[in-house]
């Protein structure tokens, strides 16, 4: 399967953000008509000091824009994260939608692990969804900080995810840690990871992009060898790769079979 990350620049004008995403998508699809699914970064719209301006109503304008793109260009799209206010919740959620090639909403994933200031302002998700990509493969969406905790990716693969998509917004000084997390999650679960990162500036923070598609070189079982495709730094762009999901599935079965049940491990405290 061919996967892609669209890494647009954040502009202060929302319509300009929309325009750039569509231009990047159109240019990519003109040369890559066989792409199966596209992922956007966690944040691809401007940030305003007035918090009300940062929120969308449930299935609002940002939602409609991505939905229409999926339909018009006949491509499956993972929307990145949308800050939306739902009538049935006290706080807004950080939500990622999955649209099929007809523009139909297949499902949505709320951010489970909220980062720093997000804990005060947003409602965390409490359900991890496993989405069907085609009759042979499934995937999960782990929004940014959800990749920092090993339990969430492990839970996804144990329940059938063959690939993990991660819309992120990692600023420049966190890139080294982020790359370590991504490699670790791929290796410990023997699962491909597609992480699309934000590019632009807001709140005096710099986001450099450098999205990553991490998979495995076929035939390398022990030690497994990662294949990493990287997006541009400090510019917009698109990256893609062809990923064979059958080989990771083979080595994942081996790796998970080697794991010792933690409940069978006794912990003993030795005092001086």
Residue ranges of the chain whose pLDDT lies below 70? none
pLDDT value of residue 251: 96
Work out how many domains the chain is built from and give that number.
1
Residue 17 is predicted with a pLDDT of 97
Given this model, what pLDDT does residue 241 score?
Answer: 98
Q: Tell me, what's the pLDDT at 53?
A: 87
pLDDT of residue 27: 97
Quick check: is 266 in a domain? no
Is the backbone of residue 242 left (phi > 0), alpha (psi -120 to 50) or beta?
beta
Is residue 272 domain-resident?
Answer: no
pTM here is: 0.96
In a domain, 183, yes or no: yes
- Domain containing 105 equals 2-259
User: Residue 126 sits in a domain of what CATH number?
Assistant: 3.60.110.10
pLDDT value of position 203: 79
Q: Is residue 264 part of a domain?
A: no
In a domain, 100, yes or no: yes
Q: In this structure, is residue 253 part of a structural domain?
A: yes
pLDDT in tens, 161-217: 999 999 999 999 999 999 999 999 999 999 999 999 999 998 789 999 999 999 999
In a domain, 138, yes or no: yes
248 is a domain residue: yes
Q: What is the pLDDT of residues 78-96, one digit of tens each?
A: 999 999 999 999 999 999 9
Give residue 11's pLDDT: 95
């Amino acid at each position: 399967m061919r996967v892609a990350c669209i890494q647009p620049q954040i502009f202060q004008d929302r319509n300009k953000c929309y325009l750039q995403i569509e231009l990047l998508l159109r240019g990519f699809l003109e040369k890559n008509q066989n792409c199966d699914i596209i992922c956007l970064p966690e944040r691809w719209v401007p940030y305003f000091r007035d918090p009300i301006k940062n929120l969308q109503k449930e299935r609002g304008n940002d939602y409609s824009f991505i939905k229409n793109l999926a339909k018009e260009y006949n491509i499956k799209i993972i929307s990145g994260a949308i800050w939306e206010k739902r009538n049935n919740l006290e706080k807004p959620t950080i939500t990622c939608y999955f649209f099929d090639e007809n523009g139909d909403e297949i499902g949505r994933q709320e951010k489970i692990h909220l980062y720093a200031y997000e804990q005060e302002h947003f409602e965390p998700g409490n359900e991890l969804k496993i989405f069907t990509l085609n009759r042979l493969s499934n995937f999960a969406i782990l929004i940014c900080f959800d990749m920092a905790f090993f339990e969430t990716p492990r839970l996804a693969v144990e329940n059938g995810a063959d690939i993990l998509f991660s819309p992120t917004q990692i600023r420049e000084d966190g890139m080294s840690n982020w790359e370590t997390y991504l490699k670790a999650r791929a290796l410990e679960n023997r699962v491909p990871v597609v992480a699309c990162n934000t590019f632009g500036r807001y709140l005096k923070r710099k986001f450099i992009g450098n999205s990553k598609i991490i998979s495995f070189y076929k035939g390398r079982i022990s030690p497994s060898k990662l294949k990493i495709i990287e997006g541009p730094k400090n510019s917009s762009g698109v990256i893609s790769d062809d990923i064979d999901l059958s080989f990771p599935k083979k080595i994942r079965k081996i790796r998970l079979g080697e794991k010792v049940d933690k409940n069978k491990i006794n912990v003993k405290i030795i005092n001086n």
